[in-house]
Amino acid sequence: MSKEEAFRAQVKKVYRLLMLLLALFIISGGGLMYYMVNPDALDFMSKTETVAFAPIEVDEDRIENGIHVRTGLIDAEGLMTVVNNCTNCHSSKLVTQNRMNAERWNATIKWMQETQNLWDLGRNQEVIVNYLVTNYPPKAKGRRMVLSDIDWYELED
Amino acid sequence: MKRRDFVKKATLSSFATLIGTELVFGSKMLNGYTPLALQDPDPFKLFNKHKDMVVLNDKPWNIEAQAHLLDDKITPNSCMFIRNNGLVPEDIDPNTWTLTIDGESVKTKKTYTLSDLKSKFQQHTYQLTLECGGNGRAEFDPPAKGNQWTIGAVHCASWTGVRLRDVLENAGIKSNAVYIGYHAVDKHLSMDPNKEPISRGCPMTKALQDETLLAFKMNGEDIPLVHGYPLRLVAGGWPASVSGKWINRISIRDKVHDGTKMTGTAYRVPCKPVAPGEKVKDEDMCIIESMPVKSLITYPKTGAMIKNGKSLTIRGHAWAGELEVAKMEYSIDFGSTWNTCPLEKPENRLAWQHFSAKIDFPKPGYYEVWARATDTNGIAQPMLLPGWNPKGYLNNACHRIAVKVT
């Protein structure tokens, strides 16, 4: 082998080495760039989670089977007036478990205004009381009710 | 801005509109974590309650037991009813908690830390029956407003603490003292800081009883938050509202305490009997003191079916406010005949007493087992509803369970 050929071969080697370095540089540089833009790319362990998107899309006031889902109140005339005025401070459960006539509801509203910071209901008061006495009328119970809704089961010793 | 961050920030800001406040450090929130404010509040997990407990109200939280859940001699936390007038306080620090004794009739206004109370005074443990004044309200006709408790607003836990008497005497009681009134840190439902959800109390005679405790333990452990952590006044045998939770101040008053729910019609019944539905003036309403005699069949659960010829074991508890239960009876023929059954003495004064009986039924059919307790004054539970009252208190009518013999 002549001196010249040996030199050529060496140049080729150096050239290949440089090309390899360049390729490595481009690949790793590109990878780093990608990582900067999308820092989660190397985080193989994490699962994608959406942080509480669901409540935003749900209709707060949806009705199912004639019931206002969020409060459990019957869907009827005056429903939203009751929801907006009567479920801020206390639960709707306090409304539905109490069955009163118009006079006693009005007295109860007066008591809430005098002692519990309830606002003036204006014309809405009539709408609310009408809704309550129509949809949640008092039930006659007498001096002792019959036992009902009994869940019968076999009693083993 | 990086796309992902933008998405996260946008979600967090919609959050802010949802919960009405900015979520500080929201960006540091762990992936997949849903903030507490948006978690569906499951009261059974929140308060460690049995799945059969019944939620009457979720704002404020009011939850009652069913008879069969109260079978234990000492009621565990999981089956204790919850009655709240306001919002359960948050961020309680027992290290900085103090109790102040003040009022017109205190000799020296004094403040004690929890460790003062625990170290300076002798500790006592009592089993104490606490029943909500409105337990049984659901049965009144015409109905009374308020939470419609059926039978489960009663429990008898073991309470450990110091005697209220010892603390009051340490501060000094003037001779004109009439009543004590408690104050606590729970917030009013309207969030009005000037309103107390409840501030009741009792006459000095009740306050000075051996069993009236400033308790810091329930069933041997720190009192659960919803039951009054870190300090609860416990006055057994009286409406449970006297047993104030989250107590930080007790006033020795020179008159009947006039705090929230002491006046008007709250925890009061007509001084004289009235007809159902009758209007009663505020001044004709008297404060409830001792609760009336009552009992519960806690085993078996109502609805039991047994084979003909087999006998049925029943058991339960009976209590009588300030008094003791002297006699326990059951009937399987709607009160036509009564059978006396064995009744244990109370573990201590004001603890409920346990009864049991073995019942044989004459033939197949539908039966109701009715239980009736009689106190040491000879007063028994009525089979019908007791006297109607505007707020539906003190229903101590006999408890009954349905049984079928097949």
For residue range A54-72, list pLDDT tens digits in order.
455 568 889 999 999 999 9
Helix (H, G, I), strand (E, B) or coil at A97: coil
Mark yes or no for CB contact A117/B195 under 8 Å: yes
d(CA A101, CA A107): 10
Contact, B86 vs B66, CB < 8 A? no
For residue B87, give the nearest of B195, B223, B15 by alpha carbon: B195
Residues of B in contact with A99 (CB under 8 A): 143
A106: left (phi over 0), alpha (psi -120 to 50) or beta: alpha
Share of chain A above pLDDT 90, in %: 50
Q: Do B348 and B400 share a domain, yes or no? A: yes
Q: HSE-up of B117 (CA within 13 Å, CB side)?
A: 32
Is residue A70 less than 8 Å (CB to CB) from chain B? no
pLDDT tens readout for residues B338-353 = 999 999 999 999 999 9
Q: Do B127 and B256 share a domain, yes or no? A: yes
Helix (H, G, I), strand (E, B) or coil at A38: coil
Q: Do B164 and B257 share a domain, yes or no? A: yes
Tell me, what's the pLDDT at B135?
98
Sequence-separated (6 or more) residues with CB below 8 Å from residue B256:
B178, B179, B203, B262, B287
- The count of other CB atoms within 10 Å of the CB of residue B71 is 18
Q: Do B35 and B98 share a domain, yes or no? A: no
d(CA B251, CA B59): 28
CA distance A23 to chain B (A): 28
Contact, B44 vs B29, CB < 8 A? no
Q: Do B121 and B259 share a domain, yes or no? A: yes
State which of B236, B254, B287 marks the end of a domain. Answer: B287
Q: Do B222 and B155 share a domain, yes or no? A: yes
Tell me, what's the pLDDT at A47?
54
| Residue numbers of the domain that contains B314 | 294-405
Q: Do B268 and B131 share a domain, yes or no? A: yes
Q: Mean pLDDT lowest for which of B10-24, B186-200, B247-261?
A: B10-24
Q: Do B283 and B299 share a domain, yes or no? A: no
Task: Tally the domains of chain B.
Answer: 3
For residue B7, give the nearest of A32, A43, A35, A49 by alpha carbon: A49
Query: To probe the interface with B, which of A46, A155, A156, A157 has the most B CB atoms within 10 Å?
Result: A155
- Altogether, the residues listed in chain B come to a count of 406
pLDDT tens readout for residues B206-265 = 999 999 999 999 999 999 999 999 999 999 999 999 999 999 999 999 999 999 999 999
Q: What are phi and psi of A62, to 5 degrees?
A: -75, 150
CA distance B321 to chain A (A): 23
Q: Which CATH number fits domain A60-135: 3.40.640.10, 1.20.120.140, 1.10.760.10, 3.30.420.10?
A: 1.10.760.10
Q: Please name the amino acid found at residue A42.
A: L
Here the CATH number for the domain that contains residue B386 is 2.60.40.650
Question: Chains A, B: CB contacts under 8 A, how many?
Answer: 106
Residues of B in contact with A98 (CB under 8 A): 143, 145-146, 148
Q: Do B31 and B12 share a domain, yes or no? A: yes
d(CA B249, CA B100): 5
Mark yes or no for CB contact A157/B310 under 8 Å: yes
Is residue A110 less than 8 Å (CB to CB) from chain B? no
Here the CATH number for the domain that contains residue B167 is 3.90.420.10
Residue B38 has pLDDT above 50, yes or no: no
Q: Do B400 and B363 share a domain, yes or no? A: yes
Q: Do B253 and B316 share a domain, yes or no? A: no
CA separation (Å) from B4 to B16, B18, B230? 18, 21, 44
Residue B9 has pLDDT above 80, yes or no: no
Given strand B61-64, what is the order of strands in its sheet?
B54-58, B61-64, B82-83
State which of B287, B316, B336 marks the end of a domain. Answer: B287
State which of B35, B58, B81 marks the end of a domain. Answer: B58
Q: Do B131 and B277 share a domain, yes or no? A: yes
pLDDT tens readout for residues A134-150 = 999 888 889 999 999 99
Q: Mean pLDDT lowest for which of A132-146, B29-43, B313-327, B392-406?
A: B29-43
Buried/exposed A30-53: b ≥16 CB within 10 Å, e otherwise: eeeeeeeeeeeeeeeeeeeeebbe
